Homo-oligomer: A and B are copies of this chain.
Amino acid sequence: MNLDAQWITGFVDGEGCFHVGISKHKEMTMGHQVLPEFTVVQHERDIQILHALKAYFDCGVVRKNNGDRMSYRVRDKQHLRDIIVPFFIKHPLKTKKRQDFEIFRKVLLMMDVGDHLNEGGLRKIREAAAKMNRGKLR
Contacts and interface: CB of A to CB of B under 8 A. Distances in A.
Contact of A10 (B6, B44, B46, B96): B6
A4 interface: yes
Interface residues of A, number: 31
Contact of A7 (B6, B69, B136, B137): B6
Contacts of A6: 4-7, 10
Contacts of A136: 43
A26 interface: no
A69 to B, nearest CB: 7
B43 A135 contact: yes
Interface string A1-27: 101111111111111000000000000
Contacts of A137: 41-43, 69, 138
A15 to B, nearest CB: 4
B45 A96 contact: yes
Contact of A49 (B1, B52, B68, B95): B95
A113 to B, nearest CB: 31
* In the complex, the 8 A-B pairs of residues with the closest C-beta atoms, listed nearest first: A14-B14, A10-B10, A10-B11, A6-B6, A7-B10, A14-B15, A6-B7, A4-B6
18 contacts: A4-B6, A7-B9, A7-B13, A8-B10, A9-B10, A10-B10, A10-B12, A10-B14, A11-B11, A11-B13, A11-B94, A43-B137, A44-B135, A45-B135, A46-B95, A49-B95, A68-B135, A138-B138
